[in-house]
Amino acid sequence: MTSKRSAPIDMSAEEFRILGHRLIDQIAEFLIALPGKPVTPSEDPTHLKALVGTDNSLPKRGTDPGKLLERSAELIFGHSLFNGHPRFWGYITASPTPIGMLGDLLAAAANPNVGSWKLGPVATEIESQTIRWIAELIGYPTDCGGVLVSGGNMANFVGFLAARRAKADWNIRESGVSADGAKKLVVYTSAETHTWVQKAADLFGLGTASVRWISTDEQKRMDTNALQKQIDADLAAGMLPIMVIGTAGTVSTGAVDPLYDLARICRKYNLWFHVDGAYGGFAARVPGVPSDLAGLELADSVAVDPHKWLYAPLEVGCALVRNPVYMTDAFSYHPPYYHFDSSVTNFVDYGMQNSRGFRALKVWLALQQVGLDGYIQMIGEDIRLAELLYQCVGEQSELERFTQGLSITTFRFVPAELQSRTGQSETEQYLNKLNEEVMLALERTGEAFVSHAIINGAFVLRVCIVNFRTSEKDIRTFPALICRIGSTVDRELRQSSLNSR
Ligand SMILES: Cc1ncc(COP(=O)(O)O)c(C=O)c1O
């Protein structure tokens, strides 16, 4: 009788070593080649479907793992959009840390289930320490509760659910939002807040109509007078305001809400104060940032996103709650089939997941590789480069600057002959179309990648630098590239409009 089962998915240590070394070599070569590759190959879905063979049925028999890894490396390194490229500046997605890539491999090797201490003892302690260090990095009390989740949406959901449980004056977990005699719960946030708020209001039973979208000032910061008026009106109408959501770095322009004022208003009305710091939270202690950012220290809960400005490989978000009891109050159940030691941390009690992976490791490693000073330096440099871009854009007569906040700079291409006519509806319509086409044409060149924002009705190019690989040269050469593309696209658009007459 043999003591070793032969399972087709298993691999000998020797084979694992050979394949693993080969893969690590390929990744290292990829990292060397990355700056010279197109940011995205801009291939169409039909081509990619054919390459992947999406219509093939599940293979009945197995394939040699070496061949599979070769093919996967070819597919992925040859046909991906690379957010690790020095000139990837779209949305808010970071270049991934090399140590994080290795950390994910190591985490998968041990594969702890970090739902409970018992199933992931050292992983639980590492996650707890990572959470404390994240709190320290952003200036939040380090005795807070916290949990790592898949991203910013989920981290914000944790704060939302903790607030819902804490501020509903009935047992909402048992009786739900529509309990007998329950008042209608309402939440407040600025019109610039990320769409997670809609999802949360929808998914957690309040309904999207319960979100009060408060207007913003010229800098896109929540108008606190409008906020108070709305709270007063809702109270007078018999509703139950539960929380105010401030944003520390809005997704479109990097605006920071007046967090200290919001904290004061929350105290006055006894509301939960949640801060969405998914983007900007990690900049809170960087010299020169808006002073309001530090106001997140007063929040009842904060969401930050290590896969944004800690440059962790996807996925990892982090929810922090000032008083940990509000987390267990919102999430904990003790079914008979789990007998976990209550004197240690069991993350299953702190969030929505049951089984949980070891996403802390990649963050924990990076935090130690560079320390607090390293992160302050890198984030500060991203912001400096975004400011430099704003300055360089200002030196090009055919570019119009819009906003600069944290590491986000927005602007648009305006051909010389249209500059005296901006603001007129026909010109604005044309400029919106032109700039959208410029963005897409840039993408097709593979030279750089940006996304867009809509600012007061204008379609603008939006550069967001959460990228430790971006250099000053990348930034200084970018405005001229946009002008070149802009002129070509403008010519083509005019020509095609003449042809269609
Ligand atoms: C301010 C803000 N909140 C939340 C999110 C959602 O984060 P994630 O995509 O990690 O879920 C984003 C994403 O860009 C964001 O900018």
DSSP secondary structure, 300-351, as one string:
SEEEE-HHHHT-PPS--EEEEESSTHHHHHHH----TT----TTS--GGGGS
Distance of alpha carbon 11 from the chain centroid: 36
- Asked if 257 contacts 248 with a C-beta cutoff of 8 angstroms, the reply is yes
CA pseudo-torsion sign 409, 413, 417, 422: negative
Distance 59 CA to ligand 1 centre (A): 38
**Would you state the pLDDT for residue 326?**
98
Distance CA 62, CA 96 (A): 32
Q: In degrees to the nearest 10, what's the CA dihedral of 240, 172, 222, 141?
A: 130
Distance 122 CA to ligand 1 centre (A): 29
Phi/psi of residue 244, each to 5°? -115, 135
Mean pLDDT computed over every residue of the chain: 97
Distance CA 126, CA 110 (A): 14
Distance 304 CA to ligand 1 centre (A): 9
92 Cβ inside 6 Å of ligand 1: yes
CATH code for the part of the protein at 112-357: 3.40.640.10
**Would you state the pLDDT for residue 355?**
98
**Would you state the pLDDT for residue 501?**
75
Residue with tokens 């940006």: 450
277 Cβ inside 6 Å of ligand 1: no
Q: Which residues pair with 213 in a beta bridge?
A: 189
290 Cβ inside 6 Å of ligand 1: no
The closest of 242, 228, 313, 308 to 272, measured between CA atoms, is 242
**Would you state the pLDDT for residue 435?**
98
464 Cβ inside 6 Å of ligand 1: no
**Would you state the pLDDT for residue 494?**
94
**How big is the chain by its Cα radius of gyration, in Å?**
25
Distance CA 73, CA 22 (A): 10
- Asked if 179 contacts 170 with a C-beta cutoff of 8 angstroms, the reply is yes
Global pTM value: 0.97
Pocket test of ligand 1: the residue of 153, 293, 296 to mutate, having most ligand atoms within 8 Å of its CB, is 153
Pocket test of ligand 1: the residue of 158, 194, 408 to mutate, having most ligand atoms within 8 Å of its CB, is 194
Encode 347-362 in three state secondary structure: HHHHCCCCCCCCCHHH
Distance CA 202, CA 181 (A): 21
Distance 192 CA to ligand 1 centre (A): 12
**Would you state the pLDDT for residue 339?**
84
Where are the domains positioned within the chain?
13-80, 112-357, 381-499
410-422 burial, b at 16+ Cβ within 10 Å, e below that, comes to bbbbbbeebeeee
What is the domain class of 381-499 according to CATH? alpha beta
Residues of the chain with pLDDT under 70: none
280 Cβ inside 6 Å of ligand 1: no
Angle at the Cα of 295 from the Cα atoms of 189 and 377, rounded to 5 degrees:
115
79-89 burial, b at 16+ Cβ within 10 Å, e below that, comes to eebbbbbbbbb
490 Cβ inside 6 Å of ligand 1: no
**Would you state the pLDDT for residue 443?**
98
257 Cβ inside 6 Å of ligand 1: no
DSSP 383: H
Atom of ligand 1 at shortest distance to CA of 193? 1
459 Cβ inside 6 Å of ligand 1: no
Q: Do domains 112-357 and 381-499 have the same CATH topology?
A: no
279 Cβ inside 6 Å of ligand 1: yes
Distance 276 CA to ligand 1 centre (A): 8
Atom of ligand 1 at shortest distance to CA of 153? 11
